[in-house]
Amino acid sequence: MSQEVQFQILPEEATDDAFLKERIKTELHISNDDFTFEWKKRSIDARKKIIKLNCSFTVYSQEETPETGISFQPKNVKDCPPVAIIGAGPAGLFAALRCLEIGLKPILFERGKDVRERRRDLAILNKEGIVNAESNYCFGEGGAGTYSDGKLYTRSKKRGDVEKALQWFVEFGAEKDILVDAHPHIGTNKLPQIIVAMREKIIEQGGEVHFGSKLTDLNVENDQVKEIQLNGSEWFAFEYVILATGHSARDIFELLHRKGIQIRAKSFALGVRVEHTQDLIDRIQYHGRLNDDYIPPASYSLVTQVDGRGVYSFCMCPGGIIAPCATNQEEVVTNGWSPSKRNNPYSNSGIVVSISPEDFPGKENDPFVCLDFQKYIEHKAWEAAGKTQKVPAQRLLDFVQKKKSVDFPRSSYQPGIVSVEMDAIFPPFVVNRLRQAFSDFGKKMNGFLSNDAVVHAPESRTSSPVSIPRNPETYEHIQTKGLYPCAEGAGYAGGIISAAIDGMKCAEAIKEKISGGKLY
């Protein structure tokens, strides 16, 4: 029988297998060398000055072999029932992969381009400030998850589902470390080839993937989806449609509303993206320990309450870059990414305030109330930045002390930065909470509240400001049969892993409907 063992070691001991074997012998009172072991989990404990690694191992006796477990078992689905999947983000891709396992034919329609072509549009956006409304950091193969940090942790409690999603990432080329690390991450440089491998598998097994294919209309008869329209012209018959279009597909929310398909306003979070040097964050989090090969660039997670409302850090990217994530020319949006080694000299995170429909008295029932506010802030930022993709910015201490910044340290945001006071962009109920939260965070992390840090605005695409209601058991839209609102854009996921899991669940719900409850 295999056994599990946990203990703490110094980070520099983690790669010394002989040391680890001796330590396991001591911990488990084993007197011989007739066993093998493999890492199970690993996390940094930096609470005290001497940094430790929490580790756990599975230990196998000589006769046992570690389970390799085939995690992904596709079938040829060429002649299986077709399912239209709109959007090739993590949700759409994982829905398609799950279709291959359970005998459905996935036909993926993505408005953007494949990952290679998409990279060119991102270069133009970064260098010339030109936003391609169909191909940007949010739209295109792999969705918003492609050029991201690729952090794969989630608050989802369903361990089995999370393990499965992580194993599929490994199946398509991610490092096995993501199965072990407490805070797994892939990195922008490695995600594109993983996504290409997923696409190739979908096609090889009889599915289809179409780029430049934007859903523009739906034909619904007697509350049942009958057809989808692509690119404003061609119609295709489909009885099952997974709508995995993400939080930035505003035209989809408008389309559903126009068709009388119910949508609802949803809370989201809004704020700024703050950038420090990574050295500063390492020094704070690792008690002065710097440039160390044995410990990863430090991260942080901060939360406080200001006037009865949560303000918190979001999508923290150690060794990262702040990216221009607008999906239209006349708006400015920030987000962050990191390469796999997280070796840029900067660290950034969103610091955001929760916004809810109740913030707009009298308009709580307007499904667009939060989306309109999000749009308004993004447009205001664009105007404040001189109607360019430059980003409004303010030194952190200047922001807290209500002073305009006269100059800046270097920023990772490639299109450039413009000095703007945050009060010119956000209303008082947001900006005052952010100001107070930064003061609180300065007390929690000594040195965080530094004038060498810069806030960039806005961080506004944290989650969808609209939800598309569905039946929690069947996953179908509450009134429209055959329509499966999926993942982040519909309000059922936040992040790559939870979106991927929701995609798989939507595929399963369709199979169960077709086959009267059976998955296989």
Q: Which residues bind ligand FAD (CB under 6 A)?
A: 86-92, 109-112, 137-140, 143-145, 147-151, 214-215, 244-246, 249, 252, 315, 323, 325, 335, 337, 487-489, 493-496, 499
In sequence order, the 6+-apart residues with CB closer than 8 A to the CB of 221 are none
Minimum gap (Å) between residue 213 Cβ and ligand FAD: 6
Q: Using the minimum distance from each CB to ligand FAD, give the nearer residue, 87 or 339.
A: 87
Q: Using the minimum distance from each CB to ligand FAD, give the nearer residue, 201 or 214.
A: 214
CB of 501 closer than 8 Å to CB of 162: yes
Minimum gap (Å) between residue 147 Cβ and ligand FAD: 6
Q: Using the minimum distance from each CB to ligand FAD, give the nearer residue, 405 or 467.
A: 467
Minimum gap (Å) between residue 118 Cβ and ligand FAD: 9
Q: Using the minimum distance from each CB to ligand FAD, give the nearer residue, 74 or 140.
A: 140
Minimum gap (Å) between residue 446 Cβ and ligand FAD: 27
CA 389 to chain centre: 22
> How far apart, in whole angstroms, are the C-alpha atoms of residue 91 and residue 111?
15
SS3 221: strand
Minimum gap (Å) between residue 430 Cβ and ligand FAD: 21
Minimum gap (Å) between residue 442 Cβ and ligand FAD: 25
In sequence order, the 6+-apart residues with CB closer than 8 A to the CB of 64 are 1, 2
CA atoms in the 13 A half-sphere facing the CB of 136: 23
The DSSP secondary structure of 240-305, one letter per residue, reads -EEE---TT-HHHHHHHHHTT---EE--EEEEEEEEEEHHHHHHHHTTT--S-SSSPPP----EEE
> How far apart, in whole angstroms, are the C-alpha atoms of residue 517 and residue 465?
33
Minimum gap (Å) between residue 86 Cβ and ligand FAD: 5
SS3 236: strand
In sequence order, the 6+-apart residues with CB closer than 8 A to the CB of 117 are 135, 140, 211
Q: Using the minimum distance from each CB to ligand FAD, give the nearer residue, 220 or 496.
A: 496
SS3 312: strand
> How far apart, in whole angstroms, are the C-alpha atoms of residue 312 and residue 494?
15
Q: Using the minimum distance from each CB to ligand FAD, give the nearer residue, 4 or 200.
A: 200
First CA to last CA across the chain, in angstroms?
31
> How far apart, in whole angstroms, are the C-alpha atoms of residue 160 and residue 154?
13
CB of 137 closer than 8 Å to CB of 325: yes
CB of 145 closer than 8 Å to CB of 499: yes
Q: Using the minimum distance from each CB to ligand FAD, give the nearer residue, 44 or 88.
A: 88
Q: Using the minimum distance from each CB to ligand FAD, give the nearer residue, 132 or 245.
A: 245
Q: Using the minimum distance from each CB to ligand FAD, give the nearer residue, 55 or 122.
A: 122
Minimum gap (Å) between residue 289 Cβ and ligand FAD: 25
Minimum gap (Å) between residue 329 Cβ and ligand FAD: 17
Q: Using the minimum distance from each CB to ligand FAD, give the nearer residue, 55 or 393.
A: 393
Minimum gap (Å) between residue 110 Cβ and ligand FAD: 5
Question: In degrees rounded to 5, what are phi and psi of residue 332?
Answer: -120, 130
> How far apart, in whole angstroms, are the C-alpha atoms of residue 193 and residue 170?
12
The DSSP secondary structure of 384-419, one letter per residue, reads HTTSSS-EEEEEHHHHHTT---S-----S-TT-EEE
Q: Using the minimum distance from each CB to ligand FAD, give the nearer residue, 205 or 348.
A: 348
In sequence order, the 6+-apart residues with CB closer than 8 A to the CB of 267 are 354, 355, 356, 357, 370, 465
Minimum gap (Å) between residue 121 Cβ and ligand FAD: 12
Minimum gap (Å) between residue 424 Cβ and ligand FAD: 25
Q: Using the minimum distance from each CB to ligand FAD, give the nearer residue, 103 or 320.
A: 320
> How far apart, in whole angstroms, are the C-alpha atoms of residue 311 and residue 326?
23
CA 36 to chain centre: 36
> How far apart, in whole angstroms, are the C-alpha atoms of residue 7 and residue 179?
18
